[in-house]
Amino acid sequence: MPLKIRLIPVLLFADYSAVTTIRFGERRKAGSPVASVKLYSRQQVDELIFLDLNASSEGRGPLFDIIEDVIEESFMPLTVGGGITTLSDIENLLKRGADKVSINSGAYRNPALVRQASQAFGSQCIVVSVDVKKNGSGQDEVFVNSGTTGTGEEPLAYCRRQEDAGAGEILLTAIDHQGLRNGYNLELARMVAENVAIPTIINGGAGNPRHFVEAATEGRAPAIAASSIFQHTRHSPVEGRACLKEYGINAR
Amino acid sequence: MIAIVDCKISNIRSVARAFEHIGQEAIVTSRQEDIEAAERIVLPGVGSFQQGMENLRRHNLVDILHREVVVGKKPLLGICLGMQLLAETGHENGPQAGLGFIKGECVRLAPPAATLKLPHMGWNDVAVCRDHPLLAGLSAAPCFYFCHSYHVVCPESDVLATCEYGANFTSVLVRGNIFAVQFHPEKSFDDGFQLLKNFSSQQQCL
């Protein structure tokens, strides 16, 4: 199939710094976010996802100033997330130059938001971000508020509901794998990617380019996101795409 | 001067920045005077057909665009939803009238196999059907960024390039002074910038 698999850096942002996290917990500073965006733009990455980690917990909306700085440095398709709870947040972000928005806790707390947003702006613009980890009973469960609050939702059922509501894509993050650089949760990825009709971007766990190959083949993911690998190892998105191609996977 | 039509839908800033990047003067505007004064017009857009047409009507842009483009033969580039709005009819949520600047209809992409998701989202190859100045200087295997669930079905003589997603669909069309692309050149790095450069210097094609 000529549509290429996408390899998408995720830039996490907190306290005016780029950061990386481990299992949504321990945070490590990773320099200036704008410097990271400039680098990714020079590398001509497939897309970029920019997430403001503190917005929900601080009870505020997006930080438009820093987002504008990011937008001014990027020509690639850009998804912006963090603290989005209203149609007005989304409209403001799209007007300022975001191509898509990513809604996480906001989509869970206000089930009408995704439907209203996709009707107003088009499904193409609406990514629903779904974070999953094992709960106390060892079952996969959707968590919100940066992985602190369980919802009782089973991941595939939840993703399908968001798809029905008009989401254009799912950003699926395996909290238990995130930041450990030991590989993706391929079983979770495949279960969702194969059973929703919209694209699934899988996220959480990449440590070397072969993990991308696994995500594409075993995970069946049409899009692969990663954060820590690009911030803390020598591996770049350019190398990642080259590795995919080496293994016969259609990438840019 | 290029006028980028602001019909209040989606990300116009990227289109403006792309023209800045290639050194072309462009303004984002919904004012009739600006569209009259411009040498070329860009009609971008992301979102629903219905919303796009409603916004054009609400901002009194339909007549001025018709005057400048259909009658006045100014070069126009439609991008993504902008391409779709140029059609005679759109079929998103029931049939509705488009601008009718080109012959054709806007229909949903063919029902995908389970592995082909909608929207068609990402980087895909564009197959050029014939030489044309709009597509001069592209890379050997041009690849652009797509983000859509609908496409325009038009006369074969207007098709300049196709793309494959389940089946072939029209990714670039040309009809006289009207050019339209289903992908986002402003998001497609070198091939995209080259296409925008070509449009910026494109002689009127009759």
CA distance A207 to A179: 8
DSSP element (H, E) containing B145: strand B143-148
Convert chain A into a string of H (helix), E (strand) and C (coil).
CCCCEEEEEEEEEECCEEEEECCCCCEEECCCHHHHHHHHHHCCCCCEEEEECCCCCCCCCCCHHHHHHHHHCCCCCEEEECCCCCHHHHHHHHHHCCCEEEECHHHHHCHHHHHHHHHHHCHHHEEEEEEEEECCCCCEEEEECCCCEECCCCHHHHHHHHHHHCCCEEEEEECCCCCCCCCCCHHHHHHHHCCCCCCEEEECCCCCHHHHHHHHHCCCCCEEEECHHHHHCCCCHHHHHHHHHHCCCCEC
In this complex, how many residue pairs, one in chain A and one in chain B, have their CB atoms less than 8 Å apart? 107
Q: Residue A3: list chain B partners with CB under 8 A.
A: 116, 120, 122-124, 146, 165
| Least confident stretch, A67-71, A154-158, B76-80, B113-117 | B113-117
Q: Examine the pLDDT at B195 and tell me if it is beyond 90.
A: yes
Q: Residue B45: list chain A partners with CB under 8 A.
A: none
Chain B CB within 8 Å of residue A243 CB: no
Q: Do residue B17 and residue A75 have CB atoms under 8 angstroms apart?
A: yes
User: What's the pLDDT tens digit per position in A168-216?
Assistant: 999 999 999 999 999 999 999 999 999 999 999 999 999 999 999 999 9
pLDDT confidence of residue B204:
47
**Mean pLDDT on A81-90:** 94
pLDDT confidence of residue B9:
66
How much is the ipTM here?
A: 0.94
Quick check: bond before B119 cis, omega within 30?
yes
Of residues B7, B120, B151, B186, which has the active-site annotation?
A: B186
CB B149, CB B109: distance < 8 Å? yes
Predicted model pTM? 0.95
**Mean pLDDT on A134-145:** 95
Q: Examine the pLDDT at B202 and tell me if it is beyond 90.
A: no
pLDDT confidence of residue B206:
38
Q: Do residue A222 and residue B122 have CB atoms under 8 angstroms apart?
A: yes
pLDDT confidence of residue A59:
87
* Nearest CA-CA distance, residue A25 and chain B, Å: 31
Residue B184 known to be catalytic: yes
Residue B80 known to be catalytic: yes
pLDDT confidence of residue A97:
87
Assign B166 to helix, strand or coil: coil
Chain B CB within 8 Å of residue A223 CB: yes
Chain A CB within 8 Å of residue B28 CB: no
Assign B179 to helix, strand or coil: strand
User: What's the pLDDT tens digit per position in A97-117?
Assistant: 899 999 999 999 998 999 999
Residue B186 known to be catalytic: yes
Q: What's the mean per-residue pLDDT of chain B?
A: 92
Among B11, B118, B147, the residue with its CB nearest the CB of A198 is: B118
